[in-house]
């Protein structure tokens, strides 16, 4: 019995070392050895593997086994309740922000709109979405006034404080209300990533602030191709 355990341990060690060596030689230039190892390990042990993003650094891959996105219950800019099921089968570019944001949010929402336009007719398969992290001020009416300034099809989602917090948790979005003594109104401090959400409501890739619209468009198209041809 002991001998079998010892033999299995050696076998496992050899396998893991082999995967490590394989990761070392097969890693792509923009992949760290750790990431490469995790990805090869995941592929050997049959976990779901992140789909590679377009070459040229068009987005960050989620670490293997990490899942973002999923169910939410919110309210759209028409005041109607919506869930992730209302977007089932569609690709989304999602940003968490707020309409009173002076600079970063407008820039990133403009980037989403430009990325969709850069995709040409294929851009119609992607819905741009702003989920507010400031539901107190971002009412449906406020969002209805704001989101069309960026894109005619942009959806603005709000909800109760609890609904918004629950959605933000699913995407691991950080946000906090900040009241500065020199300002009459509060601002929201928040993380700033653009999320590419697939037809199954799961996040496929995320983009750091200041990623170019072209890089996002290329990554979206690569993800859509990968989804159409899962074997390749
Ligand atoms: Ni902002």
pLDDT one-digit tens code per residue, 53-106: 433 345 676 777 778 999 999 999 999 999 999 999 999 999 999 999 999 999
* 0.85 surpassed by pTM: no
User: In this structure, what token pair is assigned to residue 85?
Assistant: 């099921």
Mean local confidence (pLDDT), 173-177: 96
Q: Which stretches within 45-151 are classed as H helix?
A: 104-118, 140-146
Query: What pLDDT, on the 0 to 100 scale, is given for residue 18?
Result: 52
In whole angstroms, give the CA distance from residue 20 to residue 128.
Answer: 39
Contacts of residue 231, defined as CB under 8 A and 6 or more positions apart, other chains included, come to none
Cβ atoms of residues 77 and 155 within 8 Å: yes
Distance of CA 38 to the CA centre of its chain: 20
Structure tokens at 161: 């404080």
CB 54 within 8 A of CB 222: yes
- In the reported structure, the alpha carbon of residue 96 is separated from the centroid of ligand 1 by a whole-number distance in angstroms of 8
CA distance 157 to 165: 12
What is the Å distance from ligand 1's center to 98 Cα? 6
How far apart CA 5 and CA 122 sit, in angstroms, is 55
Cα(105) to centroid(ligand 1), Å = 4
Q: What is the mean pLDDT of residues 218-225?
A: 96
Ligand 1 centroid – CA 189 distance (Å): 7
Q: Hey, what are 157's tokens?
A: 């989602």
Question: How far is ligand 1, taken at its centre, from the CA of residue 132, in Å?
Answer: 10
């Amino acid at each position: 019995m002991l001998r079998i355990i010892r033999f299995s341990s050696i076998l496992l060690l050899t396998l893991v070392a082999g995967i490590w060596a394989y990761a070392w030689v097969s890693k792509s230039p923009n992949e760290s050895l750790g990431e490469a190892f995790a990805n090869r390990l995941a592929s050997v042990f049959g976990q779901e593997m992140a789909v590679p993003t377009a070459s040229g650094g068009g987005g960050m891959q989620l670490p293997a086994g990490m899942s973002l996105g999923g169910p939410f219950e919110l309210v759209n800019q028409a005041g109607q309740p919506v869930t992730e099921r209302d977007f089932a089968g569609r690709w989304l570019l999602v940003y968490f922000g707020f309409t009173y944001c002076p600079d970063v949010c407008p820039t990133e929402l403009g980037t989403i709109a430009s990325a969709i336009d850069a995709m040409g007719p294929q851009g119609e398969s992607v819905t741009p979405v702003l989920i507010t992290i400031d539901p107190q001020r971002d009412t449906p009416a406020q969002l209805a006034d704001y989101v069309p300034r960026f894109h005619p099809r942009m959806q603005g989602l709000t909800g109760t404080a609890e609904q918004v917090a629950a959605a933000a948790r699913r995407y691991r979005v950080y946000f906090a209300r900040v009241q500065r003594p020199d300002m009459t109104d509060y601002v929201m401090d928040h993380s700033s990533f653009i999320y590419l959400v697939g037809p199954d409501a799961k996040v496929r890739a995320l983009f750091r602030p200041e990623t170019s619209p072209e890089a996002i468009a290329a990554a979206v198209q690569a993800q859509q191709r990968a989804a159409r041809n899962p074997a390749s």
